[in-house]
A and B are shown apart, each in its own frame.
Chain A
Amino acid sequence: MPYQIIVCGGLAPDPLQTLEPVTTPAGPGLKNELMLPAVFDPWAGHALYEAANLAKNVPGSVIKVVSIAPKAKLQQVMMTVAQKLPFELVPLDGPGGGFTDSASVATALADAIAAIPGLDKSQMLLFGGWESATRGAGVVMQMVGEKLGITEQFLAVDELKVDESGALIIKERVEGGRHQVSKCAAPPAVLAWATGNLPEPSNHPQTGMANMRAMMPALQKAKAAALTSTLSYASVALPAVTRQTKIVKDVPAAQIAQELADWIKQ
């Protein structure tokens, strides 16, 4: 049975950038937020690569990416993501930062998904990252699932296989470096992905070109996402703690090893 795979994914600042909080009239934000180069959220990216893998193995499956972000930024980031695999984009123009309220992000995503024409819930797999690189909360996917009435949900997924009966065999991370293995008889289901096991696909210019034919008009028409918040921030600050680093140089390896052994045994 082909799947309709919906991947929720936002943007995050390129992890290499230096981040600092600032106070804006709209609440906390990042210093120079507009300037920072953005990437597709790394965990959502893993979900997307897994979706691509599944869609390739199950002919007829389609992938739609639902994303809330400032649309010019989203357009910029999509020029990279769109080269990796075929998908349709459902863009919502809105703030993409980590300080937005997860509950309202979930509502906006759920509304956008519910409005996708021709969506058949019995074939639907709702994918996303288990946490974002911005808010890092790990709550949005479950909330979107609930709002769409999907009660089979999996968090921190590293592997999805489909058995001969069409059931989904899912490995979720649990404490202690272990995986819990579950069998879900059929869609719909929510899978919030950890890293999975797939490498990032390489870029394919023709895939990008094909994707962009529909994406550019969709981006131009992207509607504003109305986000509300029940959160109020008293403060957002960088940690002030800096350690006094003792630098040990020109000491024989044996002596360093002895110091380390003593420290480890303490």
Chain B
Amino acid sequence: MNPLPSDEPEVKPLDADIVCVGYGPATAGFLTTLTRGLQEESGQALESRAMPGLPPQVLCYERADDIAFGVSGVVTRGRAIRATFPELPLEEIPMATRVSDEKLVYLLDPVGASRRPALMQLADKVLQAFGVKQSGWELPYCPDFLHKRDGFILSLGQFNQWTGQQVMMSGLAQIWPSTPVSEALIENDKVAGVVLAGDGTEVRAELTVVGDGPVGPVGRRLDEVMGMPAGHARDEWAVGMKMVVELPESCTLPEGTVFHTIGYPEPEIFGFFYVHPGRVASVGIFVPSWLETPARTAYRYLQHFVQHPYLWQHLEGGRMRSWGAKSLLESGRRGEPHLCGDGYARIGEGSGSTNVLTGSGVDEAWLTGTQLAEAVLEIYRAGLPFSQENLKTRYEARRRRSWLEEESIIAERARNGFQRGVLTGFIGMGLAGLTKGRVYVPRPVEDKKAARLEDFYVGRVSHSQIEKIRERCARDGKPLHDALMDAAGWPPIQFDGQLLVSHQDALLMGGKVQAPSDTPDHVVFLEPDVCIACHDKICIEICSGEAIHPGSGVPAFDHEKCVHCGACLWNCPLENIEFCAAPGGLHSAEN
């Protein structure tokens, strides 16, 4: 076939006033607040500095093919969202509803394969002796710091779509999907805009709003160039993976039901189950970086999670409608970068706003966006430049004064204990939560790291067995995790073609993953020798989409399967992976 015969448009810089990177809840909050401000009487007087005579030119570039392709398990108190929309019309937002019932459930291990400390095993026995039903013990209360009972359940994709449509119909901001941003344009230590990944277009703007999430290339590059504030580091992560399930007719759980779970499939893995309107549920887990197993596909764990009797009683006979995964930056305030500099500001999860104690990120992200928008309007009205100082005194100061900061401080040390062990982790979290951060477990000098396979499976899978599994998987070009989990006593998954499906089918049926076949690989293994010498290749095992598989020494990457979760990036102990901006990924609008 012939390419278009004539010339492509010449790549010229674009001029705007504000350019945003990534359309998630933080940018949604920013653009909603900003465009509202520009519509108000006082806002209408504001003029573009790039194109005098016009209103400020506001652009947003989103990597995914649609603004509805986000992933999150959102049950939120929605304090910030409700501050923006006091009469939030939940009935207008597909899949949204109020929380009607909330439970914290401790899940026993019904299969006997999870790695539980002795005390936990004992607790399981005691609970069993007391006749706990369906291997799930509903805790008598949900601690205040965790509860969401006055909040609501959302589909992030649908919420993004709902907000995005309103922002665009205002005519005051443009959100461009399928347009990844490769890097920030840095000139003389100032951010002067961004560079788009496709054709390298420079978009020059007075203010660059970075909301590209925890693994976004623009935010990461800024961290490299600007450095992190003293004592801050991004060293706690998790993979969040979820399914949206059409519940069977037999399920009688009312909409708005929320279960938070702990204890299974591994004690370190937290889970959730929320019921949306129309007999649909979001079900998912968080696999944290402190889980020591080097073979930890979230997908296999998710399949065991949904089959836990406490959940399976509601899910059996259900059908997977949607599936997705993302990385969560769990360092909280400790992972906060410089929030602003000359010409740029950071918002959302990539700015360290996620609260790991309360298990809440979307509302916090939204709040940071609204705070920045209020600051931007003030700066415009005052006719000031977007300098670090002006952004600090208006955006950062707002953030420091808000409940976000107060709660981030409480949460800051709440999870330290998990670096020592699961039980210490839960105790530390409880202490920090109940004492509002005054009492906490100190963080050990050395953080937990993924163990070597042979060490991790001591006593359960022999070295020779591991060696055989390695050989077989290398021959078949498959990751190790399924074979290892089988060997460690996890029951094989009985696929039913509906809810329990192969990983490949989860990509196709649930994630509807698609990528343009003509783009270069966005996961790049930097030094081949480093990969060849790497013993465990966690990147292969952690990959949420089976996109990384054993290659000839260096892992092979199939970009058509990548869901852009970015887990390979923070799981490479040798920092030998570059995760670049690229289009594609998930095509589900329900996650």
Contact = CB atoms under 8 A, between A and B. Distances in A.
B587 A37 contact: yes
A208 interface: yes
B452 to A, nearest CB: 34
A30 interface: no
B322 to A, nearest CB: 9
Nearest to B57: A209
A75 B174 CA distance: 10
B1 A198 contact: yes
Interface residues of A, number: 39
B523 to A, nearest CB: 21
B198 interface: yes
Interface string B4-25: 1110110110100000000000
A228 interface: no
A204 interface: yes
Contacts of A32: 94
A202 B589 contact: no
A132 B174 CA distance: 28
B176 A205 contact: yes
A152 interface: no
Interface string A16-34: 1110000000000000101
Contacts of B168: 72, 75-76, 79, 216
Interface string B534-561: 0000000000000000000000000000
A122 interface: no
A209 B54 CA distance: 14
- The secondary-structure label for the interface of chain B is loop
B199 A204 contact: yes
B261 interface: no
B568 to A, nearest CB: 24
A85 to B, nearest CB: 9
Nearest to A212: B174
Given A37-B66, A206-B14, A17 B512 contact: yes
A239 interface: no
B174 A79 contact: yes
A219 interface: yes
Interface in A189-209: 197-199, 201-209
A198 B4 contact: yes
A35 B171 CA distance: 22
B511 to A, nearest CB: 9
Contacts of A35: 68, 94-95, 155, 158, 161, 589-590
A182 interface: no
Interface string B202-237: 010000000000000000000000000000000000
Bin chain B's interface residue count.
35 or more
A203 B176 CA distance: 10
B196 A205 contact: yes
Given A56-B5, A75-B168, A76-B168, A205 B94 contact: no
Interface in B154-188: 155, 158, 161, 164-165, 168-169, 171, 174-179
Contacts of A217: 171
B3 interface: yes
A62 interface: no
Given A37-B66, A79-B176, A72 B169 contact: yes
Interface string A78-113: 011001000000000000000000000000000000
A202 B65 CA distance: 13
Given A72-B165, A206-B9, A83 B176 contact: yes
Given A53-B5, A206-B14, A76 B176 contact: no
Interface string A40-72: 000000000100110011000000000000011
B4 A205 contact: no
A37 B69 contact: yes
Contacts of A146: none
A16 B5 contact: no
B95 A205 contact: no
A88 to B, nearest CB: 17
B201 interface: yes
A220 interface: yes
A16 B9 CA distance: 31
Given A37-B69, A53-B5, A79-B174, A209 B169 contact: no
19 contacts: A14-B512, A35-B95, A35-B155, A37-B66, A53-B6, A57-B6, A75-B165, A76-B67, A79-B174, A79-B175, A83-B179, A206-B9, A208-B174, A208-B176, A209-B14, A212-B174, A216-B171, A216-B174, A217-B171
Given A35-B94, A202-B198, 9 more contacts: A34-B94, A37-B589, A79-B177, A80-B178, A197-B2, A201-B4, A203-B179, A208-B176, A209-B14
Interface of A: 14, 16-18, 32, 34-37, 49, 52-53, 56-57, 71-73, 75-76, 79-80, 83, 197-199, 201-209, 212, 216-217, 219-220
Interface of B: 1-6, 8-9, 11-12, 14, 59, 61, 65-69, 94-95, 155, 158, 161, 164-165, 168-169, 171, 174-179, 196, 198-199, 201, 203, 321, 509, 512, 514, 587, 589-590
